[in-house]
Structure formats: structure tokens, C-alpha cells
Structure 1
Amino acid sequence: MAELAERIGELGASLASIKEQVGNLATDFTTKLSANGEVSAELTTKVDKALSELGDTTTRIGELEKRAAREREHANDNEPRDIGDIVVDSDKFKATDVSGGWRGSIRVGMERADITSANTTVGAGRSAGTSLVPGARVAGIVAPPNRQFTIRDLIAPGRTSASSVEFVKETGFTNSAAPVAEGAQKPKSDLTFNLFTTPVRTLAHIFKASRQILDDAPALASYINARGTYGLKFIEENQILNGDGTGQNLNGIVPQATAFAPEFAPDNETAIDRLRLAILQVILAEYPASGFVLNPIDWARIELTKDLGGNYIVGNANSPIGPSLWNLPVVQTQAMGEGEFLTGAFNLAAQIFDRMDVEVLLSSENVDDFEKNMFTVRIEERLALAVYRPEAFVTGDVNPTVTP
């Protein structure tokens, strides 16, 4: 309807211009005919052309107006009608002479249901698309918030084509190096090694969806893909940090990390002190610490720490720099338990090996899916985690123990 109205308006403007042109040509035609008794062939051609355009435009506008009227009638037939419309359109009302103040009753058929706004809800047994007051549907599916995954960014990446990853680690070094006199026997040192294996584990889950819903809601397939992938990454981050190595679990960093054992206890110890002492413990193990992993609640407490003058010690509300402490980046994740910390040489002492990136497969040939018109969506990945040097990681309680 809007498009028709726009076209009619455009033709109306064109018609007004043509009428003005015809008027001007008519005046010119009459003037020259009176003066000379004849007019040129050129002027006659212009007049004929203008009159022809005027007739064509008038005809086109008439046709469009008829079409618009038909579309209005068709649209009105599909619109919900109230009880007054039903009565007026009834055959008995049309056959009744009401000019003399007729009184009586007219029976009309209507749906036997209360007409209320509640009929617009699914709970009232009505379809929102056909109810008296249809709802405004927001496009898409409103998803819950996603956790930001950052642990992978700290750890060295790798790939493998095997079902397990093997690495040789030095397990002992007897260093007998010493100054030696000329001609004297050189001291003998010793090295020992051991072969370690970390298995590739599979993280996976499936979804069930009917053929009909996937056909009728095409966006659902991509939504399942995105949410299913997120579900894998959610478990992956927890496994990298906290997997206990039993069954099909990864052997995570926290269970293998060295317990926090500070070299000394500073006066009035704070959480900030403890994290600095954890860095020292990593350094004494001959590794450079590359970051902290903290629960967001613990990091917020640290950032809000103030000195006696009420000034923030760590936090700076105007700083464009990301979270950091003791010149090391701080990764905040709820996969880390509240009240605990992890620090260490993430980029040197551990590595993730991806055997298969996240894969999404759709099949109707699972159990009785074909008979039931169902699809199974399988989302999975395969990876291994190698913690080369557990002593390069330190974990413990963020806050110092308060003794009564």
C-alpha cells in the first residue's frame, strides 16, 4: 500500500506538470493561429505529444487508484473485527429497516470465549500470531552472558596428530663441577631423565532437535552451534586449571602446582604481599613468572585496597592499562576458586596440544532418529595438556590467615 501511494503521488506531480505544459502550449497555439492564420508543424507536434502524455498519465493514475482500493478491501477482510462490525455485516441487520427506530435482537455467531487481553498469551491457549492483540516479537534468541576465556592466552600452543603426547624431562642433575688442578682427575657429574606421557582427551556433548524445528527456525542451527562451542570452551578452561587427571579428565595446572611456601612472612601481611612472595617462589625455582590467575572477586578486593590516606594502592579507575600486579598481567576467571591464586611461568612450563579443533556434526542416523524425524548435533574437540615443570607454578590462598 505504501509503495502504491508513493507511485500515485509521483504520477500526480507529473500530471500537474504536464497540465501546465499543455496550458502554455495552448496559449501559444491560439496566439499564433490568430496572428498568422496558421501554426508551425513543430508546435503542432509538441501539442499532440503533450496531450498524449496527459491522457496516458491520467489513465495510469486511475488504474493505480483502483488497485489501491482493491488492496484496502482485501486487507480489511483479514483484520480482526469487533462485535459491532460483525453485527453490521450480518444478513439479518442488512435486511432490517432501522429508519423508524427498530428495536429487537439479532443473533450472530461468535467464538465462545471471553474477549480479554489475556487471549493474546500462549498461557490462555491462544497463538500470539492470531490473537486480538498480537505481540511484538524481538528477532533472534536472547542468549545468557558468555564467560570470557583467557587461560589459553597464557599457555604455549601446540598441535599433535597422535592420541598422546610424550616428552622427556630431566629429573636429576648431580653437578660436580669444580676448579681442578693441572693433571688432576676431573669430577664426574650426572644427569637422569624420564619419559612422561599426557593423553589426548575428548570434550564433547550432543543436542537433540527435530527436523521440523530446524526447518521452521533456520537460525536455531547456528545458535546451537555457538552455544555448544561455548559449552566446550567453558569446560575446557575449567579442565586446564582444575582437571584432576582421573578417568577422562585432563591433569590440570592447579592440582600439579607447588603449594605456596613463602621464604619469609612480612609484617602486617596482605594479599598483595602474598602474591609478591609467590613470584619469589617461582623465581627461586629458576623460572620467570608470567602472570596471575585470580577469581574476579579476589581481584576486586585487591584493586580496592587503600592506604591510610584513602588512596587506591593498586586500582586506578582512569588507567587504560589492563589488570596487572607487580608488572604481571592478571587473568580474571570464575574457573579459579574464590580465595585462591595461581602464578607461574605459563608460557614456558606448560603447553596445550590440539588434536582436533571444535567440530560440529549433524546426523539423522543415530539410534532411532531417522524414524522419529530427529537430528543429533554433536560438538566435540580433542586436546592434551602437558605441564612440563610443576615447580614453575605456585598456588595457595590469596588472603593471609588471620590468627586470633
Structure 2
Amino acid sequence: MSGEKTAQQLAEEFSEKMNRSVDAAKAIAEDALGRVEKGEQLSAQMKADADSAMSDLNELKGQVGELAQKLARAPGGDPDQARSLGQRFVEDDGFKSWADGRPRQGKSDMAVKATITTATTDAAGSVGAATERTRLPGIQELPRQRLVVRDLITQGRIDNAALEYIRETGFTNNAAPVAEGAKKPGSDVKMDLVSTSARVIAHWMKVSKQALSDVSQLRSHIDNRLLYGLALVEERQILHGDGTGQNLHGIVPQASGYAVPAGLPAAGLSVIDTLRIAALQAVLAEYPATGHVLNPIDWAAIELTKDEIGRHIIGQPQGNAPASLWRLPVVETQAIAQGKFLTGAFQMGAEVFDLWDSRIEVGFENDDFTRNLVTILAEERIALAVYRPEAFIYGDLAPAAAG
């Protein structure tokens, strides 16, 4: 009911009334004692005031009873544990003995001992701040994406930022049997100079010297995170860099688009069929494919493919053979979008060059020195050469619609 007072409200009212009643009773008792010592007779008004004070104390007893009932009705409440300080006071044997004697003076007191708990609040008996904690060593890191693309292609080093290489772009072959005395046919070759340059990938964190001193593993954790960040962006640049600004010119933007060669049906192909045709495209370009790069979700869908009687087409669930399809290894990475694939001759078709190895440097910036701050910088400088774009086939995994 909205008009019913809560236990908290009753406790507050009780505390206020108790203080007033005790003060009034004390004042009356002291006045009466003084008059008796002087030989004066107690007036009728004084006796009436004393009776009123005792009546107030009796009323407080009733409120305490109501408060106790409310606490006993509280869900999950333990009346013995949930008693307020006021309730415990009026139920104390010392107070009952003092009150039953209808006192004119004196006082009643009660020793209160707080229950000691592990609470951390600022209250009597709270010792939680003194309890020990078990701190596990190390830092629980966020997960890291598996990085695979750099290991798929050839790796080299350069000494200058500018990188040039000559790519053969055409070959006219007129070789033929020639009769005695006849003029020999001529052939032709076309070359193209490809120029690119190394790009810097970098980022930094600012940290206080106090933090580095107080947290023993913080420096190594920051270093590892910064280096991982470089590698993560590097993988995306090698695959998808669009060549504008400071971006690398990645493999996917230069790769050949998926197309079904003449002589093969273009309709009714499954996802597995699509990857076989992509490998064929690379073979027809004279760059036999060395692997497929797929999103993990797509590869899982392929492995879950079953025949008409429910048997898995790609291997067995309990098998431990490396992931492969059409005799080519399958590499899973979230760096390639779901529903897309990249098939190609990776080592023959592209090479990544390091000008600056991934490195960590520490220094001061602006007023860092006077503010006890340091800047931790991670950077690398790399170049990418896609020698033969036709060595890579990129496209959608969705099977072609039936014609």
C-alpha cells in the first residue's frame, strides 16, 4: 500500500522521537532531583510532564514492534541480522530494566558490536579493503588475426625507395619451317617498364614514464601490439591496396577477373567448380596456380557440403589432412571478403620487398620530456611488385546462374 510506511521510514522516525523523549525525560528528572534536594514539593504539572514523557517512551515501544514485524516480513530477511540500531536498543535487557522502573533520572546504554564482513563500504565491520586478491600474471590480449599473405609470396630486400622492373607484355612468335633459300620470318617482343616505390606503414602510442615503470609488462605489450598492427595493415595492403596516394598497388586490383574459358559449361557450376575453373585460368596463362585464398566462412561452407546421402564431399570430420581443394592448398584469412576468392601462382606472380624492417623507436615529442611522457613508434617501409597480374584470378564464389 502506498500509505504504509517502510521500515526505513519507521526507523528514522523512531530515532528522532527517541532522542526527543530521552532528552525530555532527562530534563524532567534533573529538575525534580534538584527540587527534592532543596526540600521543595513536586508540583502537579511536573508529575504530569513526567507521565507524558513515559507515555512517549511507551509509544516508541509500539513503533519498535511494528518495525520488527516489517523486517520479519521482508523477503529473504533475517530478523536477527536485519534489526536496526534503535530496535536492538529498546530490546536490550538493560533498557527494558531501566524503562520498567519508570525512571526520573539516569540513563541506559548498550554496547554494539558490528558484524565483520568483507564489504568495502565505509562502515563499521567492513574489512574488504584488507583482504588479499589473486592477480594472475600477464595481460590477457585481444585475439589476433592469422596473417598468411606475406608467406605466400616471394620476399626480398631493396636498398632504395624507388623500385623498377621490366615486364614482358607481348610476344609475337612467327617461328616456322623455312625452305632453303627462303626468307626467315621475324618475331617481336614487347617490354614495359614498371615503376613503384616503397611505402611507409607506421603508428605510435604515447605513454607516461610512470606507467612504464609501474607495469612491468606494459612496454613489451605495447611493442607487440604496434608490430602486429603493422603486419595487419601490411596484409590488407598486399591484397587490396589501390595504388593511390601512399597505398601499395595490391594483388587483387591487378588480378585477372574470373571467367569461364570457352569449351566449358558456364551454367550450373557449384562453388567447388568455380575454384577448379579459376585454377584452370591460371594454367592457361602459363602460371600454374599454387593455392586458393578464401574467407574462413566460405571454406567452412565448402567442407560442410554433403552428397545426396549425407556424406561430406571434402574429407571426413575426423580427418587431419591439410586443407586442400583440387590438389591445391587452401589458405584461410579474414583479409579477403566473404564470398570472394583469390587463386594464383603466388611465388611466381608477386614479391614483397623490405626497405625498413618492422622496427620500434622511442623518443620525445614537443614537451614530452617535461611531462614525463614518451612516444613509442612502430614503422616499416615496404614495396610490392606484382610481376604477372595474369598469374592471379579473383572473383565471386557464387555459382553462375543457369542460362
* TM-score class normalised by the smaller sequence: 0.5 to 0.7
Q: Secondary structure of the residue that 1:207 maps to in structure 2? A: strand
Shift of 1:235: 0.7
Cα deviation 1:313-370 (Å, max 9, x = unaligned)? 113223222211111111100000100000011010100111111100111x211111
2:188 and 2:117 map into 1 onto residues whose CA distance is 90
Shift of 1:312: 0.9
Shift of 1:148: 1.4
Shift of 1:132: 3.4
5 Å-filtered alignment, 1:191-340, equals 191-263=189-261, 264-265=264-265, 268-340=268-340
1:403 and 1:192 map into 2 onto residues whose CA distance is 40
Residue 392 of structure 2 aligns with which residue?
A: 393
Residue 377 of structure 2 aligns with which residue?
A: 378
2:383 and 2:206 map into 1 onto residues whose CA distance is 28
Shift of 1:305: 0.7
Shift of 1:199: 1.1
1:315 and 1:135 map into 2 onto residues whose CA distance is 49
Shift of 1:275: 0.3
Q: 2:153·2:346 contact (CA, 8 Å) conserved in 1?
A: yes
Shift of 1:134: 3.7
Q: Which runs of 5+ in 2 are unaligned?
A: 1-107
Q: Secondary structure of the residue that 1:149 maps to in structure 2? A: coil
Residue 186 of structure 1 aligns with which residue?
A: 184
Identity of aligned residues (%): 49
1:247 and 1:186 map into 2 onto residues whose CA distance is 49
Q: 2:165·2:193 contact (CA, 8 Å) conserved in 1?
A: yes
Shift of 1:130: 8.1
Aligned AA for 2:120? N
1:134 and 1:307 map into 2 onto residues whose CA distance is 59
Residue 151 of structure 2 aligns with which residue?
A: 153
Aligned AA for 2:282? V
Aligned AA for 1:339? G
1:185 and 1:347 map into 2 onto residues whose CA distance is 41
Q: TM-score, normalised by structure 2?
A: 0.68
Q: TM-score, normalised by structure 1?
A: 0.68
Q: Secondary structure of the residue that 1:131 maps to in structure 2? A: helix
Q: 1:345·1:393 contact (CA, 8 Å) conserved in 2?
A: yes
Shift of 1:218: 2.2
Residue 136 of structure 2 aligns with which residue?
A: 138
Shift of 1:274: 0.4
Cα deviation 1:283-337 (Å, max 9, x = unaligned)? 1111110000000000000011111121111132232222111111111000001
5 Å-filtered alignment, 1:2-13, equals none
1:282 and 1:221 map into 2 onto residues whose CA distance is 46
Q: 2:117·2:128 contact (CA, 8 Å) conserved in 1?
A: no
Cα deviation 1:213-252 (Å, max 9, x = unaligned)? 0011121000001111111111111111111111111111
Cα deviation 1:16-69 (Å, max 9, x = unaligned)? xxxxxxxxxxxxxxxxxxxxxxxxxxxxxxxxxxxxxxxxxxxxxxxxxxxxxx
Q: 1:266·1:273 contact (CA, 8 Å) conserved in 2?
A: no
Q: 2:118·2:128 contact (CA, 8 Å) conserved in 1?
A: no
Please tell me whether Structure 1 or Structure 2 has the larger radius of gyration of its CA atoms.
Answer: 2
Q: Secondary structure of the residue that 2:120 maps to in structure 1? A: helix
1:313 and 1:227 map into 2 onto residues whose CA distance is 40
1:148 and 1:291 map into 2 onto residues whose CA distance is 17
Change (3 A) 1:403 1:179: closer
Aligned AA for 2:387? Y
Change (3 A) 1:385 1:131: same
Shift of 1:403: 6.0
Change (3 A) 1:242 1:116: farther
Q: 1:304·1:315 contact (CA, 8 Å) conserved in 2?
A: no
Aligned AA for 2:205? F
Cα deviation 1:71-107 (Å, max 9, x = unaligned)? xxxxxxxxxxxxxxxxxxxxxxxxxxxxxxxx85679
* CA RMSD of superposed structures (Å): 2.4
Q: 2:305·2:314 contact (CA, 8 Å) conserved in 1?
A: yes
Change (3 A) 1:380 1:182: same
